[in-house]
Amino acid sequence: MKMILKTKGMHCVSCERIIQDALMETNGIKKAKANYINERTEIEFDPKKIDENKIMKVIEKAGYEPEEWNERQEERGGFLKRLFGGVNE
C-alpha cells in the first residue's frame, strides 16, 4: 500500500534523510522517499504490519509534522517542479 504525506519542518537534504531513515528502520515500511522542496513524503508499506497513524507517529518522533496530502498540494508541487526544473530529483 502507498501513501503520501505533507511533511512540515524539512529544510534540507539532511531532513529528508532523517525521515527516510526513521521510516526504513520501522517494521512494515518497504520504501520511503522524502522531498524537502515540496514538503512531501511518499511511503510504501505493508498494512498488515503497520497502519497510517503509526507511520505518522514515526515522522513526528523524528521531529517533523506529517499531514494528509491533498490535490491542492499536488497542484502546487507540480507548479514548483515546473518552476524550478525538478531540483533535487
For 29-54, what is the mean pLDDT? Answer: 97
Q: Are 27 and 58 in contact (CB under 8 A)?
A: no
Angle of CA points 29, 31, 32, to nearest 5° = 100
Res 70: pLDDT = 74
Say what the pTM is.
0.78
Task: Judge whether residue 80 has pLDDT over 70.
Answer: no
pLDDT of residue 76: 53
> In the structure, what pLDDT confidence band is assigned to residue 57 with cuts at 50, 70 and 90?
very high
Q: Which fold has domain 2-84?
A: Alpha-Beta Plaits (3.30.70)
Could you give the angle at the alpha carbon of 60 between the alpha carbons of 57 and 64, nearest 5°? Answer: 150
Where helices occur in the chain by DSSP H, the ranges are 13-24, 52-61, 71-84
Band (pLDDT 50/70/90 cuts) for residue 89 is very low
